[in-house]
């Protein structure tokens, strides 16, 4: 008989693991002084299943003082480092007391870098035990079957290469993030006396540089005119919309020549070509693929998709989401998963259709991950009512899983070329012959069909309308959250678990204005200052080389000490250069901050007085914000406008079409809308509000 302490990552995971490992499936929850654990029986052993609630230990500097460089760190209880993390004190105390009763230690945290490090630190510091004696449960889903198998076949030691990789990543991210942020912040403080935290980091810097480069491309783009041909023809009494063989004509003279030569003329069908194509099913989801698809269909930011996927994983509905893998290994019982899904009314039809097949072979992608398979449903039925967002993401994952087993889709493409006076027009049609996997993935794939009339070679088509349309070249697209995350993945910056947070940080720091990643004046100030004085901080190559070395630790090709020494040397060199230029850097950042604050607060000229400027201000008495004239303090003007008290406000460079006042964009939680500063009295806004109230009343009556 043994007493085994099982260390989990989160309370919900601990509850599931305890339920799976208890012989009767009924563990006892024991609550003690603000924390709890689960006690269960497994054979002759008593299992104490405790949870860490994420990281219980954080890095902090050894040497005191809010300055830089600070290159020596130590692990400390989280409640000593993060003031708000008071709940971790009771958890650490509980684990420490349970460890005194334990004969064995099993780490059952998520099997990745972060989870491995969390388990290691708990064993070493909270339990006060030698981590080399701890065992490891390895699983990719929180189903009872997989958890029991993971317990029965647990590894006899921790994956110390993962632990070392996690340890180093935390150290390097702390060293670069803390020191560089302090350097920027202190440069401002020593220049202007302001304490305004301006941050950068090992990955944040290159990400800012990528966004700045795209922003500059857009802002410096000069549109060039070109012409396209809009044409219609008539055949057998039917009207046909035709396309010209060249999408773009560079001169108006050439475009008008096409019109002169073909308008009102008769063309002949020169050829009709038919092509049958097969389209393979999509590959399984890894985290990046899921985040991209969720943004495309639902508008979910990558961080939100990860949070939703994590909840579905903790409910045992999907496999572990933080994976790079695009493959479903043979070890996964796909028939069992499909049987489980067939018990859900929404998926019974497709699941049953797949189960009727003798062979089930999923499409596989190229990317692999030794720790976890591609994201897939487990076949478990939800034990609670999913939120609308969770339900949508779960539906996407399930239908992607179905599509993997579908046959290729067959499509027919038809092109008819019509020649008129040496100019070629064409008509193209598409038809789905066999939907194959598309049938399983709807509504997340479209198969638009375009009918082609039964034209044959030699048929006459009269060109009833041919005209030249002037157009302009378009600038490159700005990043959106999904495309920026994809670029980080392509450049090998950050990890699958951290990229979403890096994307979000640009906006939370005030460096970008919206989800289109338009750089703010503050973002430009930070970027241009770093580019001018310490360009290495913005270098993709520099950051990528460090990422590659950290990955080598996980593969056993480098030691943590080797990589850490090099990283510290590079950081010392950067900070030394920074300190020698601190005055210049501080002045440039101060100027950028002043422009940033001015743009955030200034709305435009006051419509009441001649020389005042409307500003966003906050009342010192009530704390409420409103728009007021800059001449208010001198008594020259009392013009004010009310503002919504919640949400982020961005002043837009456009006027209200109803009343001519400046427009604002307000973002509150997940909702974004535009209105004018005169919204309380604007006649057009009042009409919009009445229409909105009517729609709400109608929906309420129907409900």
Domain closes at, from 158, 181, 201: 158
Eight-state DSSP code of residue 381 = P
558 pLDDT exceeds 80? yes
* Region of poorest pLDDT, from 23-37, 210-224, 320-334, 607-621: 607-621
Residue 670 has pLDDT above 70, yes or no: no
Helix axes 302-314, 11-21, angle to 10 degrees: 30
pLDDT at 702 over 60: no
pLDDT classification of 651: cutoffs 50, 70, 90 = confident
pLDDT tens-digit map of 156-167: 999 999 999 999
Do 18 and 100 lie in one domain? The reply is yes
Return the pLDDT at 653: 75
Does 598 reside within a domain? no
Q: pLDDT, tens digit, for every residue of 179-199?
A: 999 999 999 999 998 888 888
Closest CA to 8 of 33, 25, 40, 26: 40
- The CB-side HSE value for 259 (13 A sphere, CA atoms) comes to 16
> What pLDDT does 695 receive?
65
Note the pLDDT of residue 423: 96
Lowest mean pLDDT among 72-86, 87-101, 610-624: 610-624
Q: What is the CATH number of the domain that holds 432?
A: 2.70.20.10
Domain closes at, from 456, 472, 488: 472
Residue 636 lies in a domain: yes
Residue 349 lies in a domain: yes
Dist CA 648 CA 672 (whole Å): 9
- Summarize pLDDT for 102-144 with one digit per residue, the tens: 999 999 999 999 999 999 999 999 999 999 999 999 999 999 9
**532 conformational bin, left if phi > 0, alpha if psi -120 to 50, beta if neither:** alpha
* Confidence category of residue 328, pLDDT binned at 50, 70, 90: very high
In tens, the pLDDT along 408-466 reads: 999 999 999 999 999 999 999 999 999 999 999 999 998 778 888 889 999 999 999 99
Q: Taking a C-beta distance cutoff of 8 angstroms, is the pair 374, 284 a contact?
A: yes
Residues 25 and 132 in one domain: yes
Catalytic residues: 320
The residue that leads in pLDDT, 446 or 394, is 394
My answer on whether 443 and 483 are in the same domain is no
> What CATH number is attached to the domain comprising 531?
1.10.460.10
Q: What is the pLDDT of residue 306?
A: 95
Count of structural domains, the chain: 5
Taking the C-alpha atoms of residue 98 and residue 356, their distance in angstroms, rounded to an integer, is: 50
Instruction: Please say if the pLDDT value at position 701 is more than 60.
Output: no
d(CA 145, CA 343): 18
Contacts 24+ apart (CB under 8 A), 516-519: 516/478, 516/479, 516/480, 517/211, 517/214, 517/215, 517/478, 517/479, 517/480, 517/484, 518/215, 518/478, 519/211, 519/212, 519/215
pLDDT band (50, 70, 90) for residue 692: low
First to last CA, the chain: 60
**Exposed/middle/buried for residue 41 (C-beta within 10 Å: 0-12, 13-18, 19+):** middle
Residue 507 clears pLDDT 90, i.e. is over it: no
Q: Has residue 522 been placed in a domain? A: yes
- Cα dihedral angle (161, 162, 164, 170), rounded to 10 degrees? 160
Is residue 357's pLDDT more than 70?
yes
Q: In this predicted structure, what is the pLDDT of residue 104?
A: 96
CATH of the domain at 381: 1.10.290.10
Predicted local confidence at residue 654, as pLDDT: 81
The reply to whether 627 and 521 lie within a common domain is no
State mean pLDDT over 320-329.
Answer: 95
Q: Is the pLDDT of residue 536 over 60?
A: yes
Read off the pLDDT of residues 572-602 as tens digits, 9 standing for 90 and up: 999 999 999 999 999 999 988 888 877 777 8
Residue 487 resides in a domain: yes
Residue 547 has pLDDT above 90, yes or no: no
CA gap 120, 100 in Å, rounded:
17
For residues 432 and 411, give the distance between their C-alpha atoms in angstroms, rounded to a whole number: 4
Q: Last residue of some domain: 593, 611, 641?
A: 593
Residue 700, pLDDT score = 59
538 and 621 in one domain? no
Instruction: Tell how far CA 343 is from the center of its chain.
Output: 32
> What is the chain's mean pLDDT, rounded?
91
**Closest by CA position to 319, among listed 380, 360, 232:** 380
Indicate whether 342 belongs to any domain: yes
In a domain, 608, yes or no: yes
Are 149 and 43 found together in one domain? yes
Confidence check: pLDDT of 659 > 90: no
Tell whether the model's pLDDT for residue 72 goes beyond 90.
Answer: yes
Q: Is residue 47 part of a domain?
A: yes
664 sits in which H/E element: strand 662-668
Whether residue 286 is predicted with pLDDT greater than 60 in this model: the reply is yes
Residue 486: what pLDDT?
Answer: 93
Give yes or no: residues 643 and 541 share one domain. Answer: no
Claim to verify: residue 351 and residue 488 sit in the same structural domain: no
Of residues 663 and 390, more confidently modeled: 390
Is 699's pLDDT higher than 70? no
Residue 561: strand, helix, or coil:
helix
Domain hosting 126: range is 3-158
At 308, list the tokens.
């939703």
Write down the residue that tokens 């009494």 correspond to: 237
Task: Please report which helix (H) or strand (E) contains residue 692, including its range.
Answer: helix 683-702
CA 503 to CA 260: how far, in whole Å? 52
Give one DSSP letter per residue of 198-258, joined into a string: ----TTHHHHHHHHHHHHHHHHH----EEEEEEEEEEETTEEEEEEES-S-BS-HHHHHHH
Distance of CA 101 to the CA centre of its chain: 43
Please spell the DSSP secondary structure of 471-537, one letter per residue: EEPPPPPPP-HHHHHHHHHHTT-S-TTTHHHHHHHHHHTTSBSSTT-PBPHHHHHHHHHHHHH-GGG
Percent of the chain exceeding pLDDT 70 equals 97
pLDDT at position 280 is 95
Residue 515 has pLDDT above 80, yes or no: no
Q: Please tell me whether residues 143 and 80 are part of one structural domain.
A: yes
Q: Are residues 396 and 413 in the same domain?
A: no
Give yes or no: residues 124 and 19 share one domain.
yes
Residues with Cβ within 8 Å of 82's Cβ and at least 6 positions away in sequence, in order, are: 58
Q: Which of 156-170, 638-652, 660-674 has the least mean pLDDT?
A: 660-674
Among candidate residues 573, 592, 195, 271, the one with its CA nearest the CA of residue 424: 271
Cα 432 to Cα 241, 243, 280, 281, 606: the distances in Å are: 21, 22, 14, 15, 60
Is residue 61 within 8 A of residue 49, CB to CB? The reply is no
Q: Does 26 lie in the same domain as 152?
A: yes
């Amino acid at each position: 008989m043994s007493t085994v302490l099982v260390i989990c990552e989160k309370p919900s995971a601990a509850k599931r693991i305890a339920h799976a490992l208890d012989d009767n499936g009924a563990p006892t929850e024991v609550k003690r002084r603000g924390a709890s654990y689960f006690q269960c029986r497994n054979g002759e052993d008593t299992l104490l299943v405790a949870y860490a609630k994420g990281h219980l230990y954080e890095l902090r500097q050894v040497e005191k003082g809010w300055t830089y460089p600070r290159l020596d760190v130590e692990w400390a209880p989280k409640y000593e480092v993060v003031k708000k993390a008071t709940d971790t004190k009771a958890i650490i105390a509980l684990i420490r007391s349970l460890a005194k009763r334990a004969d064995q230690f099993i780490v059952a945290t998520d099997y990745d870098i972060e989870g491995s490090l969390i388990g290691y630190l708990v064993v070493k510091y909270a339990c006060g035990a030698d981590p080399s004696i701890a065992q490891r449960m390895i699983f990719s889903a929180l189903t009872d079957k997989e958890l029991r198998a993971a317990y029965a076949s647990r590894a006899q030691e921790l994956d110390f290469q993962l632990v070392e990789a996690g340890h180093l990543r935390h150290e390097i991210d702390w060293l670069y993030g803390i020191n560089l942020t302090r350097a920027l912040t202190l440069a401002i403080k020593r220049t202007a006396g302001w304490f305004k935290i301006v941050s950068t980091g090992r990955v944040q810097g290159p990400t800012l540089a990528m966004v700045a480069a795209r922003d500059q491309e857009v802002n410096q783009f000069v549109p060039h005119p070109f012409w396209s041909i809009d044409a219609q023809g008539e055949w057998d009494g039917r009207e046909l919309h035709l396309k010209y063989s060249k999408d773009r004509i560079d001169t108006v003279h050439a475009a008008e020549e096409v019109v002169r030569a073909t308008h009102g003329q008769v063309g002949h069908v020169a050829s009709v070509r038919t092509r049958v194509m097969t389209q393979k099913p999509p590959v399984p989801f890894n985290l990046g693929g899921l985040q991209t698809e969720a943004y495309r269909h639902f508008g979910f930011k990558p961080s939100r998709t990860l949070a939703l996927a994590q909840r579905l994983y903790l409910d045992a509905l999907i496999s572990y989401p933080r994976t790079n893998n695009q493959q479903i290994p043979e070890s996964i019982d796909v028939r069992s998963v499909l049987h489980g899904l067939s018990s859900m009314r929404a998926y019974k039809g497709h699941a049953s259709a797949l189960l009727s097949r003798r062979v089930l072979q999923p499409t596989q992608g190229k990317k692999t991950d030794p720790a976890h398979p591609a994201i897939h449903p487990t076949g478990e039925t939800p034990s609670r009512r999913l939120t609308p967002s969770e339900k949508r993401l779960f539906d996407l994952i399930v239908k992607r899983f179905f599509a993997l087993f579908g046959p290729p889709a067959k499509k027919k493409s038809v092109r008819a070329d019509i020649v008129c006076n040496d100019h070629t027009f064409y008509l193209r049609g598409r038809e789905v012959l066999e939907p194959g996997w598309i049938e399983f993935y709807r509504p997340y794939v479209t198969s638009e069909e375009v009918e082609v009339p039964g034209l044959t070679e030699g048929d006459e088509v009269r060109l009833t309308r041919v005209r030249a349309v002037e157009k302009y070249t378009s600038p490159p697209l700005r990043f959106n959250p999904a495309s920026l995350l994809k670029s980080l993945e392509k450049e090998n910056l950050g990890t699958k678990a951290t990229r979403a947070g890096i994307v979000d940080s640009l906006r939370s720091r005030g460096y970008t204005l919206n989800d289109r990643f338009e750089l703010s004046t503050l973002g430009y100030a930070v970027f241009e200052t770093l580019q001018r004085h310490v360009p290495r901080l913005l270098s993709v190559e520099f950051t990528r080389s460090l990422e590659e070395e950290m990955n080598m630790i996980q593969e056993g090709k480098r030691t943590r000490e080797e990589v850490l020494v090099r990283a510290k040397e590079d950081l010392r060199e950067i900070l030394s250069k920074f300190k020698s230029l601190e005055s210049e850097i501080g002045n440039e950042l101060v100027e950028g901050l002043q422009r940033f604050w001015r743009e955030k607060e200034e709305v435009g000229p006051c419509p009441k007085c001649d020389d005042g400027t409307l500003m966003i201000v906050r009342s010192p008495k009530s704390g409420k914000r409103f728009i007021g004239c800059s001449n208010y303090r001198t008594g020259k003007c009392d013009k004010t406008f009310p503002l919504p008290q919640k949400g982020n406000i961005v002043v837009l460079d456009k006027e209200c079409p109803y009343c001519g006042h400046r427009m604002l964009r307000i973002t509150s939680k997940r909702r974004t809308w535009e209105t004018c500063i005169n919204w309380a009295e604007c006649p057009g806004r009042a009409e919009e509000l009445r229409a909105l109230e009517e729609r709400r009343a109608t929906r309420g009556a129907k409900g």
